[in-house]
Amino acid sequence: MTTGTVLIADDSLVIRAVVRSGLEEDGYRVIEAVDGLTALERCRQDPPDVVLLDIEMPGLDGYQVLSELKRDDELKTIPVVFLTSRSGMDDMVAGLRRGAHDYLKKPFEAAELLARVGSAIHVKKLQDQLKRHNVELDRMSRTDGLTGLYNRWHLEQELARLHNDAVRHADGLCVLLLDIDHFKQVNDVYGHAAGDLVLRAFADRMVSEHRAGDIAGRWGGEEFLVILPRTHRDGALDAAERIRLRIARDPVAVANGDIKVTVSVGCGLGPGPSPDALVHLADGCLYQAKLAGRNRVVASVPPVSQ
């Protein structure tokens, strides 16, 4: 099991061989580059945990390679340790100011090289852990804990973005607002645990019927929202009807019986003047669907432009 991957970029075969030998003996995996351009290619093909970088190299010098790495979102967190014969303070300061993690002068002691590499890899691992933690926090902030669908906050963000796109490109945008019929009775008769099962089953069935590119989530309580980008009336009605039929097709099995579940759907046809106005349209249609007997789809009047 390797300690980590190190890229050594140096035009000296001797330096590369010495560095490789010491690092591999200490458990590191080593890849090599003979010049700046090759170093960038190696980083993009097989991102290392740390880069040992000479300053004076053919083509791109070490400073230029460092600048290119820092401009790349996928590579900018890789620690760079300059390994160079330039020993002046100005050279060291220039490297560190450009974002280098460390600066090691040639000739170097093997123990010091290993210590500097180990320190850089430790920093990289901490950065990677923080990045994964932040990604997970972001995912959790956008996810409904019960159903695993997007939550209202994420839906509002996405609807605002897609509404702007639809207005800019004069494209279609529709939303479906869905409400599980008589859901309060489910909780009252079967209990809240059964109600949670119904919500999860509903979410799974709804998602199984929406198209790639559509965005579905829990709007609140037993209400769900589906955003349909680049969609006009016929496409929205077709999507809504597919979901309605899928929900009604099979009862949901719970501990004390099977529950027949249906859904009423309001379809807002847009994009309309604002995201809120589009959801308001769908909400009005949902109300009409419930007044008309539930388990049905009602759509708003198509925009004049259509």
Active-site residues, by number, are 222
Give just the sign of the alpha carbon dihedral 283, 288, 290, 294. negative
Three-state DSSP state, 252: strand
> 170-186: string of b/e by CB count within 10 Å (b at 16+)?
eebbbbbbbbbbbbeeb
Amino acid making up residue 234: D
Please tell me the distance from the alpha carbon of residue 231 to that of residue 235, in angstroms, as a whole number.
6
Give ∠ CA 271-147-154 in degrees, rounded to 5. Answer: 35
Contact predicate 78/50, CB 8 Å: yes
Contact predicate 256/244, CB 8 Å: no
Question: How many residues are there in the chain?
Answer: 306
- Region label for 293, one of left (φ > 0), alpha (ψ between -120 and 50) or beta (otherwise): left
Q: Which of 269, 261, 274, 303 minimizes the C-alpha distance to 285?
A: 269
For 103, 166, 282, the CA distances from 300, given in Å and listed in that order, are: 66, 18, 7
